[in-house]
Structure 1
Amino acid sequence: MKTHAAPSSAVGSRRRPGGYVLLELILSLIIFSIAVMSLARTLQMAIQTSSVLNRENDIRMGLRSFLEEVRRKPLSELTQVYTDPRLGVTYNSAAEPLTLKDRNGTVLSDLYTLRVAVTYDVGAEQREEALDIYVYKKQTQSSSN
């Protein structure tokens, strides 16, 4: 009597039921979709941050331009208010007399502190940024300096 031995490949491997393959596929798709959603959320946050930084950069450039424009005006026009509707900000400037003395103790005249500020909203919070510079303007000056 002869006995047949089963082939070695058939003994060690069993066929998995089809439901487990489907379950593994569903789990891998869930993990992949979570990773894609996390990546999309990160990209959305990066775009929002970029938008905020671009707006703040535009505001600072506007502040610098406003400063350059105002400091060239005569003394009587140094105090100004300008609202930029595109950015939703308000720029304002004010000049105050500055008292400085030289080495000999002599008071230097016609010096002013020019303060240029911008106020804007970030969400519910109101922010202000300002620049202060010293300017020399004669009282009787009619042309730009």
Structure 2
Amino acid sequence: MRIRPIQPTDHQALVALWRRTPGIRLREEDELEPFCAYLQRNPQLSLLLEDDAGRVAGSLLVGHDGRRGYLQHLVVDSPHRGQGWARALLQEALRRLASLGIRKSHVFVLEDAPEALAFWQMQRGWSERDDIRVYSTTGA
């Protein structure tokens, strides 16, 4: 297994991984063009986990706004879970963000994703916020 930066050519395999992963919700922003724009805006930050045969085994999309990091689609495919790969992806992402001077990050976890919620509740240094609410828009 190895961790490397995500490339635009990984899109199709990542979408297949995300579709078969409970708790991941795909949006228009996950289509090829916005995906590539995200990678270009945040170079070398989003990470892919490959198995020994070079197949996609996990992912973590990573971006920032100059002050805060934002993490999305942290996934390890079911055959590879329980081996510490999600933590390895997370640690590498935080290391890359820290190298840019970004020390605080956020992750949004869907309420209907019990495995993801359990993962984040167990992560040292991460705490659930009860002092904010998130509002989203799909455009003007």
Confirm or deny a common fold (TM above 0.5): no
Q: Which is bigger in relative contact order (C-alpha 8 A, separation at least 6)?
A: 2
TM-score range relative to shorter protein: under 0.3
If each structure's strand is expressed as a fraction of its own residues, which one has the higher value? 1
* TM-score, length of structure 2 as denominator length: 0.25
If each structure's helix is expressed as a fraction of its own residues, which one has the higher value? 1
